[in-house]
Amino acid sequence: MLIIQEIRAKSILNKSQVFDYCVNPYTGCQIGCVYCYARLFMSRYSGHREGWGEFVDAKINAPEVLKKQVSKAKEGTVWISSVCDPYQPLEATYQLTRRCLEELLAMQFPVTVQTKSDLVLRDVDLFRKFDEVEVGFTITTEDEKTAHCFEPGAAPIAKRVEALDRLHAAGIRTFAFVGPLLPGNPEKLIRDLEGKVDRILIDRMNYIRSVKGFYRQQGLLQETSDEFFEDYKCRLIFALRKRGMLFEVLF
């Protein structure tokens, strides 16, 4: 059962180590990925006893707080989001991500959106008005069964790829974050993404210790080894170079 709370946040535009800022309109994430690094600290940090994926706090004053913060902040790229999916199912009701985007658009802050939900297509009208915007999907494998097992609340991979195609066709810069690398067919994954993304970022599973038990249950221990990640990476790079696609490897 999902526990939903409406809360009031003190700050929405926060410093990020990856981009200049991050915006998280929600605490908690319905997508509930097994490997989520936020699950390691966010429940404790937010005072929740429920497991990751079982609670979401909607920061109902997020757009108003953000408006005040962006009016005073030095311009920088904003990552939406770092510790929640900005288009998790509750966003269809609360529209906090959309209203935060409207505030960032008013000041033309550059934005990078990252999600696993095709609800992002709802906001194409806003993305088209930004001077600088990039919208990406996390796609960890092309194998639907594996993706569903590790990312139970995410959109099917086919929907994510289709959404990338539609965003790209709408003239919006797109990326795929291929990480953490999950078992699958790297050549097919690249074939599926060709022509739909401007760039691809690749990363391995970085929190092996916290997910090793889950991999063991699934009979996938071999897929946590350095050899697996190295081999998978080489196959991805080969397929990407063959097609002249832009990419960056993060490990």
Torsion of CA 163, 53, 178, 246, to 10 degrees: 60
CB of 32 to ligand SF4, least distance (A): 5
Residue 33 contacts ligand SF4 per CB under 6 A: yes
The stretch among 24-32, 56-64, 191-199, 206-214 that binds ligand SF4 (CB under 6 A) is 24-32
φ and ψ of 23, to 5 deg? -130, 125
Residue 36 contacts ligand SF4 per CB under 6 A: yes
Instruction: Show the DSSP H helices in 73-110 as ranges.
Output: 91-94, 96-106
CB of 111 to ligand SF4, least distance (A): 17
Place of tokens 């609670």: 55
Q: How far is CA 212 from CA 20, 33, 158, 241, in A?
A: 32, 14, 27, 32
> What span, in angstroms and rounded, lies between the C-alpha atoms of 5 and 122?
24
Binding mask 81-120 for ligand SF4 (x = CB under 6 A): --xxx------------------------------x----
Residue 29 contacts ligand SF4 per CB under 6 A: yes
Residue 31 contacts ligand SF4 per CB under 6 A: yes
Q: Pick the closer one to ligand SF4 by CB: 13 or 147.
A: 147
* Pairing relationship of beta strands 14-15 and 21-22 according to DSSP bridges: antiparallel
Q: Scanning residues 152 to 211, which ones bind ligand SF4 (CB under 6 A)?
A: none
- Residue pair 7/59 in contact (Cβ under 8 Å)? The answer is yes
The residues binding ligand SF4 (CB under 6 A) are 29, 31-33, 36, 38, 83-85, 116
